[in-house]
Amino acid sequence: MLRVVGVIGPKNSGKTTLICDVLKVLKEKGISVATVKHSGHPVEIDREGTDTYRFKEYADVSVFSDVRGKTTFFYGTMELEEILSKLESDLVIVEGFKEKLKELNIPKIVTVRDSEGRELVDSHTIMVVENMKYNVENVVKEILDKSVVPTYNLNCGHCGYNCREFVERLIKGELSWKDCVLSTDVELVVDGRRIPLNPFVSKIIKNTVVGLVSSLKGVEDPGSISIKIKK
């Protein structure tokens, strides 16, 4: 299941360098990772007058592929929660989006340059990296221990807390990310909204669906199953 963690800090404080070092270690561990970066200024990755630029004027989604096999998807304006909902990986590392990270109760690492950036540290901060001094293995351990399944402020209360309190207790070491009811093997999404399932209901759905699908011709040992139902 997908989990998420943020990295924020002032310009030239080492955010991207830290993330790249972490990515190398995670790749060696066989963990799939997606990255999301927010830029503080406009970045043009397409130019006016090209075919893809014209497509984007009318299409909801435009896809460009070149002879090198490089593929780019162009969407319209998207909030962080929408971006996360489209990703499939074990872990997502978000660079920037400091206000959204706070709003969505996503744990984060803060990079500090001298004293600049220390004002960003709050109760959702899992680690402070000063002047690019860190042990990457320690950083990776903190990320794997304290990244969370995105809850989008569901506040279901199954863990006994709201989402903000859950993250605060997670960072203090009082809870595990696995204590979140959304950290099950089953994800139920209704009209774009994730529905919390307690372990008992999750197990019933999983066993029922796996049993039905496994009996179908051509399906022997499914690794993952997705079902979409439209009324």
The DSSP result for 132-159, as a single string, is T---HHHHHHHHHHH-B---TT----TT
Is the confidence at residue 53, as pLDDT, over 70?
yes
Per the domain annotation, does 196 fall within a domain?
Answer: yes
Based on the fold, state whether residues 100 and 140 are members of the same structural domain. Answer: yes
Tell me, yes or no, whether 66 lies in a domain. no
Span 45-70, average pLDDT: 82
- Whether the per-residue pLDDT at 193 is higher than 90: the answer is no
Neighbours of 118 (CB within 10 A): 14
What is the C-alpha to C-alpha distance for residues 111 and 139, in angstroms, rounded to an integer? 12
Residue 15 resides in a domain? yes
Q: Is residue 63 part of a domain?
A: no
What radius of gyration do the chain's Cα atoms show? 20
Q: In terms of domains, do 210 and 99 share one? A: no
Q: Which residues contact 152 (CB under 8 A, 6 or more apart)?
A: 81, 104, 194
Residue 53 covered by a domain: no
38: pLDDT strictly greater than 80: yes
Domain that holds residue 101: 3-43+82-176
Q: In total, how many domains does the chain have?
A: 2
Whether residues 90 and 147 share a domain: the answer is: yes
Q: What are the pLDDT digits (tens) for 87-134? A: 989 999 999 999 999 999 999 999 999 989 999 999 999 999 999 999
Write down which residue in 176, 197, 218 finishes a domain.
176
Is residue 30 assigned to a domain? yes
Element holding 23 (H helix, E strand): helix 15-28
Please check whether residues 104 and 8 belong to one and the same domain: yes
Question: Which amino acid is present at 126?
Answer: I
Residues 148 and 229 in one domain: no
Q: CA 97, CA 79: separation in Å to the nearest integer?
A: 10
Q: How does pLDDT run across 137-147, given as a tens digit for each residue? A: 999 999 999 99
| Whole-prediction pTM | 0.84
Do the Cβ atoms of 98 and 10 come closer than 8 Å? no
pLDDT score at 58: 84
Q: In the prediction, which pLDDT does 191 show?
A: 82
What is the end-to-end Cα distance of the chain in Å, rounded?
A: 27
Q: Which residues in the chain belong to E strands, given as ranges? A: 3-8, 33-37, 62-65, 71-74, 91-95, 108-112, 125-130, 188-190, 193-195
Instruction: State which of 151, 176, 201 marks the end of a domain.
Output: 176
Residues 156, 93 share a domain: yes
| Rounded percentage of the chain residues whose pLDDT exceeds 70 | 98
Mean pLDDT of the chain: 90
Domain contains 58: no
